[in-house]
Structure 1
């Protein structure tokens, strides 16, 4: 049985560039380079203007939105938070996993909305791994007004 390794950090610096990278990013063991980054889950998002509505789309594949995602509106913020759970984690520290690029853990995304937006203006749906949140009327009456300068 062979082990698949995408990249393995050299044990000794081979050049000045390697030394510079080590000095900049700090010392790390070879295992740190193979493990996922500790920054956690940060789902990709986009906001689209659709007429007077704002449509927020988040990529959330593999997440049970019924159990693990909450959408809240308050204080001029639309907040979407949840968690991607690792269903395959074992109690021995993932000793049987040979590659891990999927990020697990909690996430929180927050978007500013006008203070007059109420919960009735917000609707959400989930399809094919994408959470779509529509905020109705966000852009209504938001045409810029020209202000006259007096002398």
Structure 2
């Protein structure tokens, strides 16, 4: 009788593979969460800049920027290339890029109109500028303190 060593890591890997196969068979292809572009919100003087990462997105066709009801809404979609095999014969083995529709909403200060908003796209970054909304904070000012002891008028 041959002695077999049990390796817990191999057993875990096999369990993971078997579980993944069971899930795919039961519910079809496993899908990841949809595409949500990362955003930075910064100031540039009196302006606020909202920058979204949108590499591989056709912004002219697939992205909309709207101002309504005190909100800035940036929505669109990243299209997935359906080819599983390219022209030169390469096949897709693993696909980790995220695709699909997205929507990002940002609150705007009262009174902001679409005329104050502009958008530019360069090297995979969509930058939306909201002009004149970042007001500088007022400088602290000292307030004089009156004493509770006040001189009474003399009774002469």
- Asked if these proteins are the same fold (TM beyond 0.5), I'd say yes
Q: Could you say if the C-alpha distance between residues 142 and 11 of structure 1 is closer, same or farther in structure 2, counting changes exceeding 3 Å?
A: same
Question: Over aligned residue pairs, what C-alpha RMSD do you find?
Answer: 2.9
Question: Aligned with 2:14: secondary structure?
Answer: coil
Q: Could you say if the C-alpha distance between residues 62 and 54 of structure 1 is closer, same or farther in structure 2, counting changes exceeding 3 Å?
A: same
* 8 Å Cα contact 1:47/1:55 also seen in 2: yes
Q: Could you say if the C-alpha distance between residues 73 and 10 of structure 1 is closer, same or farther in structure 2, counting changes exceeding 3 Å?
A: same
2:130 matches 1:135: yes
Question: Aligned with 1:29: secondary structure?
Answer: helix
Match of 1:10 among 9, 13, 31: 13
Match of 2:108 among 96, 113, 117: 113
- TM-score (normalised: structure 2): 0.66
CA deviation string 1:17-51 (max 9, x = no partner): xxxxxxxxxxx524869x77532001010011111
1:54 corresponds to: 48
2:64 & 2:22 partners in 1: Cα distance?
34
Q: How many positions carry a matched residue from both structures?
A: 120
2:71 matches 1:77: yes
Match of 1:66 among 49, 60, 65: 60
**Residue range with higher mean Cα deviation, 128-137 or 81-90:** 81-90
1:100 & 1:32 partners in 2: Cα distance?
18
Question: Aligned with 2:115: secondary structure?
Answer: helix
Unaligned stretches of 5+ in structure 2?
A: 1-11, 85-90, 144-156
